[in-house]
Amino acid sequence: MRSWGIKKLVQYISWALTVLLIVFVLVGCQSADRLPIVSVKPTDYSLTNPQPMENQNVLRVGISSVLSPRETLANYQSLADYLQSKIGRPVQLIQRQSYQEINDLVRDQGVDVAFICSGAYVIGKQENLELLAIPEVNGKSTYQSYIIVNSNSKFQSFQDLKGQVFGFTDPISFSGTIAPTYMVTLLNSLPTEFFKRVVYTYSHDNSIKAVLDNVVSAAGVDSLVYQYTVAKDPSLAAKIRIIAQSPEVGSPPVVVNKSIDSHLKAALLEALLQMDNDPVGKKALQALLYDRFVLPNYAAYEPIQTMVKANAALKDKK
Residues 134 and 258 in one domain: yes
pLDDT of amino acid 34: 36
Residues 135 and 149 in one domain: no
pLDDT(69) > 70 = no
- Higher pLDDT residue, 231 or 131? 131
Helix H or strand E encompassing 132:
strand 129-136
CATH label of the domain that carries residue 160: 3.40.190.10
- pLDDT tier for residue 273 given thresholds of 50, 70 and 90: very high
Residues 241 and 117 in one domain: no
Does residue 255 sit within a domain?
A: yes
- Higher pLDDT residue, 36 or 284? 284
Helix H or strand E encompassing 134:
strand 129-136
Instruction: Write out pLDDT tens, residues 166-200.
Output: 999 999 999 999 999 999 999 999 999 999 999 99
What are the distances in angstroms from CA 203 to CA 17, 24, 135, 300? Answer: 72, 63, 19, 23
Answer yes or no: pTM beyond 0.85. no
Does residue 205 sit within a domain?
A: yes
Does residue 310 sit within a domain?
A: no
- Measured N-to-C along each axis, helices 69-87 and 262-273 cross at an angle, to the nearest 10 degrees, of 110
For the chain, what is the domain count? 2
Residues 152 and 133 in one domain: no
Q: Facing residues of 198 across strands?
A: 166
Does residue 64 sit within a domain?
A: yes
Residues 154 and 192 in one domain: yes
Residues 151 and 135 in one domain: no
Residues 159 and 234 in one domain: yes
How are beta strands 218-222 and 240-245 bridged, if at all?
Answer: unpaired
Does residue 149 sit within a domain?
A: yes
Residues 235 and 272 in one domain: no
Residues 112 and 199 in one domain: no
pLDDT of amino acid 236: 94
Q: What is the dihedral of CA 238, 244, 247, 250, to 10 degrees?
A: -40
Q: Residue 160 belongs to what domain range? A: 145-246
Mean pLDDT of the chain: 84
Does residue 317 sit within a domain?
A: no
Does residue 18 sit within a domain?
A: no
Residue range 114-119: mean pLDDT, rounded: 95
Does residue 39 sit within a domain?
A: no
